[in-house]
Amino acid sequence: MQDLDVEFNPANPKQGDSLLVSMTDADSDVPVDDLSVLVSRSENILYSFISDENGQAHFIIPNGTFIVRISGGQYNPLEFTFTVENEVVDIKQGGNLVADIDGDGILNIEEQDADSDNDGVPDELDQCPGYDDSVDLDKDGIIDGCDSFVDSDGDQVRDIDDVCPGFDDTVDTDQDGIPDGCDPSNANDDKSDDADSIAQNTQTLIEENSTMIIAGIGLFIAILLALLFIRRGKGGDGDFTDPYDDMFDGGYSNSDSSFNDFTSSPMPDYAQDNQRPPQNTVGQMRDGYEITEYPNNSGQWWWKDTQTGQWQKWQ
């Protein structure tokens, strides 16, 4: 067995102070962890600690007389008696303790309820020796240390295999392989539903607007083609008056007077003229016709027949 060195800080504590207990190997001066530090008064345990990796434990100093017992491992147990009166603390070190199998600071000869695993349950009543009998996360009556099937959330999936701890792994409303409890895009989530509804309404609005635009373009083209067909279908009638002349003429109020005379003249015939413009002459579009003045500044206007490609004099 080896000896321990124990140091109290502060060295002169008072009632209510937090007392730090440091334990080191007497030979190597190396901190010793996993030692039992038991603070008791009469037969009542006030505090129970295990020294940390720095060989330390701490507690608040109570009033009256109490005992601090330190034991564990291959070290000789130590006992200190604290007497607190009028905020003055008197510390006395007792003799070495003898065997303490369960490391609880209570001598085996004085102990009627040995507790080897320090879970607060005497060995003779311990359901799961070596483990804390108070830990039963899934509330199935079997201590977790001895339970081969620990299921904390009761979804019939072991904790070590649980995809979504705290929630039922079998509930997956949207069938995406992620339990609803851990699924940010759960179909039952009001926020997701709102977002989906907005997206669907936006898509519907876009589709409706696109349909209306296409329908409008189609109607415009149909009207334009109908107007061209009416004009050209009556090409040989010198008395024909186009009912849409006013509409088209209104759009070209700034055109020159020669072209105004052209649009108000009767529909042309197809008489040939030796002075017609060359076939490759490029005219200008007016009211659905390609026209040109030839010769320039002559006041003679010509229109191109789209079927023959020939220029016809407007008479």
Query: How crowded is residue 44: how many other Cβ atoms within 10 Å of its Cβ?
Result: 8
3-class SS of residue 273: coil
Predicted confidence (pLDDT) at residue 20 exceeds the cutoff of 80: yes
pLDDT of residue 25: 94
Pairwise CA distance, residues 169 & 154, whole Å: 10
88-122 tens-digit pLDDT = 777 887 644 444 445 555 544 455 556 777 888 88
pLDDT at 23: 92
pLDDT at 100 (0 to 100): 45
With beta carbons less than 8 A apart as the criterion, state whether 182 and 174 touch: no
Please name every residue paired with 293 in a beta bridge, in sequence order, or none if there are none: 301
The string over 113-128, giving b where at least 16 C-beta atoms fall within 10 Å of a residue's C-beta and e elsewhere, is eebebebebeeeebeb
Tell me how far apart the terminal alpha carbons of the chain are, to the nearest angstrom. Answer: 135
Mean pLDDT along residues 214-229: 89
pLDDT of amino acid 27: 92
Note the pLDDT of residue 142.
Answer: 79
The mean pLDDT value for 243-269 works out to: 48
Helices (H), 241-283: 245-250, 257-264
Which pLDDT score is estimated for 131?
84
Q: Is the pLDDT of residue 238 over 50?
A: no
pLDDT of residue 188: 54
Q: Would the pLDDT of 14 be above 70?
A: yes
pLDDT of amino acid 234: 55
- Where is average pLDDT lowest: 148-152, 214-218, 290-294? 148-152
Mean pLDDT rounded to a whole number for the chain = 76
Confidence of residue 77 (pLDDT cuts 50, 70, 90): very high
Rg of the chain taking only CA atoms, in angstroms = 53
- 300 against 233, higher pLDDT: 300
Residue 185, both tokens:
């895009």
* Greatest CA separation for the chain: 143
pLDDT digits (tens, 9 = 90+) for 21-64: 999 999 999 999 999 999 998 878 989 999 999 999 999 988 88
Other C-beta atoms lying within 10 Å of the C-beta of residue 300:
19
Look up the CATH number of domain 4-93: 2.60.40.10
- Would you list the domain boundaries of the chain? 4-93, 189-233, 245-313
Q: Which range has the worst mean pLDDT, 91-105, 120-134, 257-271?
A: 257-271
268-293: average pLDDT: 77
Proportion of the chain above pLDDT 70, given as a percent: 72
Q: What is the pLDDT of residues 183-210, one digit of tens each?
A: 777 655 555 555 556 667 677 778 777 8
